[in-house]
A and B are shown apart, each in its own frame.
Chain A
Amino acid sequence: MKIIKMQNAAAVTVALEGRLDSMTAPALETELKALTDGALEIVFDMEKLEYISSAGLRVLLSAHKVMAKTGGMKIIHSNETVMDIFEITGFSDILNIE
């Protein structure tokens, strides 16, 4: 999985490419630990994310809990497969998905 970060004054955009699963989620978790300290909004661009498993969802949930107290977090450009996962897991009710 590729993790591409773009930062401006208001937010950090994290573009994810490939699969976010048990193999790749630890890398994202490590990246996010540094980013969530900055207290900016985090935007996850999921246009090129092919799949997200429970390991990936756990990382997003963890980031969501931290960012809810600071700058907030949102998810953009989810494809149909990823959106289906958000819906059947109920994460669409928890996360801010645009």
Chain B
Amino acid sequence: MSDYLLEAKLRAENRDLHRLTKDSAVVLQKMLESFLPRFPDFTDHTIMHSMDVLEYCNLLLGEKQIERLTAAECYVLIMSCYLHDIGMGINQKNYEELSEKIDFGDYFETHSRKDTQTIIRVFHNEYSGFFICKYAELFDIPCEEMVFAIVQMSRGHRKTDLLDENAYHDLMTKDGIIRTAFLSAIIRLADEIDVGVDRNSELLFDSSKVQDIKGIEAFGTHESIRRVEVREDAIVLYVKPKAPEYLELVSNLVKKIQETLDYCRKVVSLRSDFRITQTSVKTIKIID
């Protein structure tokens, strides 16, 4: 069993850091719901998604590797699971303020959709990073190194180059080392699994109200994957296609998770002495 191992390990090693995560969780329940008015569609970024990502981190790491983590690593990993999508729920004032700091590259020259909703969705990992920087005091994050780690791990759940040693280097704190690249790879893979196979959308949204094709396809793909199992050697998706055409969409999703798995395995092996034991993403078709 890997349930709540990270939380249990942190509580056993450092009760003060554990209490900080509990205080943050109480506040974040409400905060993470604030994305819903701006994004009334079918992607879950509530505390339920945070809890799921945390659970996948527990499963991917496994008991023996969690035992090797420092208290600082347990703390920043739990906080990053809670905070990685906080950028999806920023208000207009913070959107305008934080947009000044983000490097959008050539996005505005190369993309036609430039509305606020799209910008936040595409760059939400960057908004998360700057939001955490701005409000680090709110979450009582104990030191600058931990703020930096949580920012980088939250940014790194999407897109960023985890092999960049300047952006993702090891940090020393009084509560132990933080191996930022390794932890970022774990959270990126955990997030990819949960976004792909999200079950919470069925609880949060009414699928009959989906209008656009992309939303219908995404929701149908979620509904076609009935269960996920993280085994020692593989990530297994149990598939019952909602309709035959969803098989191809599920297949595309499997490829996407496999790509992320391959990349994260590479990061973990090159940047730490930990490992991701899972090597492949498999599907098992459920037959009535």
Which A residues contact B (CB, under 8 angstroms)? 21-22, 25, 51, 53-55, 57-58, 61, 85, 87-91, 93-94
Contacts and interface: CB of A to CB of B under 8 A. Distances in A.
B96 to A, nearest CB: 14
26 contacts: A21-B140, A22-B19, A22-B20, A22-B140, A25-B23, A53-B23, A53-B139, A54-B24, A54-B26, A54-B139, A55-B23, A55-B140, A57-B23, A58-B22, A58-B23, A58-B26, A88-B31, A88-B91, A88-B94, A88-B135, A89-B138, A90-B31, A90-B33, A91-B27, A91-B30, A93-B30
Interface residues of B, number: 20
A58 B19 CA distance: 11
A22 B30 contact: no
A22 B135 contact: no
Nearest to A93: B30
A61 B23 CA distance: 11
A34 B26 CA distance: 23
A89 B34 CA distance: 9
Contacts of A87: 91
Contact of B20 (A55, A88, A94): A55
| Majority secondary structure of chain B interface residues (helix, strand, loop or mixed) | helix
B46 to A, nearest CB: 12
Interface string B134-146: 0101111000000
Contacts of B23: 22, 25, 53-55, 57-58
A53 B28 CA distance: 12
Interface in B7-22: 16, 19-20, 22
Given A54-B24, A58-B23, A89 B31 contact: yes
Interface of B: 16, 19-20, 22-24, 26-28, 30-31, 33-34, 91, 94, 135, 137-140
Given A55-B19, A55-B140, A89-B27, 20 more contacts: A21-B140, A22-B20, A22-B23, A22-B140, A53-B23, A53-B137, A54-B23, A54-B26, A54-B27, A54-B139, A54-B140, A57-B23, A57-B27, A58-B23, A87-B91, A88-B135, A89-B31, A90-B31, A91-B27, A91-B30
- Which 3 A-B residue pairs are closest in the complex by CB-CB distance? A90-B30, A22-B140, A54-B27
Contacts, number: 53
Contacts of A88: 31, 91, 94, 135
Contacts of A94: 30
Contact of A89 (B19, B30, B140): B30
A43 B139 CA distance: 25
A54 B19 CA distance: 11
A22 B16 CA distance: 9
A29 to B, nearest CB: 11
A25 to B, nearest CB: 8
Best-surrounded residue of A25, A89, A94 (most CB of chain B within 10 A): A89
Nearest to A85: B138
A61 B29 CA distance: 12
B133 to A, nearest CB: 14
Contacts of B138: 53-54, 85, 89
Contacts of B16: 22
B258 to A, nearest CB: 37
A85 B91 CA distance: 12
A90 B34 contact: yes
Please indicate which of the listed interface residues B28, B30, B139 has the most CB atoms of chain A within 10 Å of its own CB.
B30
